[in-house]
Every structure is written in structure tokens, then in C-alpha cells.
């Protein structure tokens, strides 16, 4: 899928995220990773996050059992069927 200048790959795989905070750690929150590109990802979760929030998204590399952390900023969120879909931009 090509949108916003970056090809996106549909994943529909489970993952999770943690809220980044300098004063405390957070519990992991389950999320479905809808798609991913070199610039960001789209996730769906029962927890909504406000735009501007920085999180650590954990996802599994394709064809492996290796899980990698990605630091990302929430760019948008919207309600979808009792859950929330959120667009993330990876931070470099």
C-alpha cells in the first residue's frame, strides 16, 4: 500500500506498547499492528493515546521470533468499534 510517500505493508500481527516516562515505567498494553512503513505504523488498541504522546512499540520481525522496540510519536487517533486506531511516526 502506498500512501503519504512511504510504502506500507499490512501486518495484522499482535504487538504491544509501553508509555515512555522518565519518572516511571508503564505496564505493557496489547495492540494489533495494522500496518507498518519505514516512517511509522498504524496500531489498534483498547487504550487511546493523545497525539504527541511518545511510546515504545514492540513488534516481531517478519519471519522470526525476534521482537524489537521502536520509539514512536502518536500523530492521530480515532475510535473504531470499541477500540482506537492510532497512527504512529517513528522517531529517529
Residue 76: the pLDDT is 97
Q: DSSP letter at 15?
A: E
Grid cell 524489537 is found at 68
5-61 pLDDT tens trace: 788 888 888 899 998 766 566 789 999 999 999 999 999 999 999 999 999 999 988
Q: Are 86 and 49 in contact (CB under 8 A)?
A: yes
Question: With bands split at pLDDT 50, 70 and 90, how would you rate the model's confidence at 91?
Answer: very high
pLDDT higher than 70, residue 1? no
CATH of region 2-90: 2.40.10.220
Residue 25: the pLDDT is 62
The ranges assigned to domains in the chain are: 2-90
Secondary structure (3-state) at 35: strand
Question: With bands split at pLDDT 50, 70 and 90, how would you rate the model's confidence at 2?
Answer: very low
Q: Is 18 exposed, middle or buried (0-12, 13-18, 19+ CB in 10 A)?
A: middle
Rounded to an integer, what is the distance from CA 38 to the centroid of its chain?
A: 13
Residue 69: the pLDDT is 93
- Distance of alpha carbon 34 from alpha carbon 55, whole angstroms: 17
Amino acid at each position: 500500500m502506498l500512501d503519504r510517500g512511504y510504502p506500507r505493508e499490512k501486518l495484522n500481527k499482535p504487538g504491544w506498547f509501553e508509555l515512555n516516562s522518565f519518572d516511571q515505567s508503564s505496564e505493557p498494553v496489547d495492540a494489533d499492528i495494522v500496518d507498518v512503513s519505514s516512517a511509522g505504523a498504524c496500531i489498534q488498541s483498547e487504550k487511546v493515546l493523545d497525539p504527541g504522546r511518545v511510546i515504545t512499540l514492540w513488534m516481531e520481525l517478519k519471519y522470526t521470533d525476534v521482537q524489537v522496540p521502536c520509539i514512536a510519536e502518536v500523530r492521530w487517533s480515532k475510535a473504531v468499534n470499541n477500540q482506537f486506531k492510532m497512527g504512529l511516526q517513528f522517531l529517529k
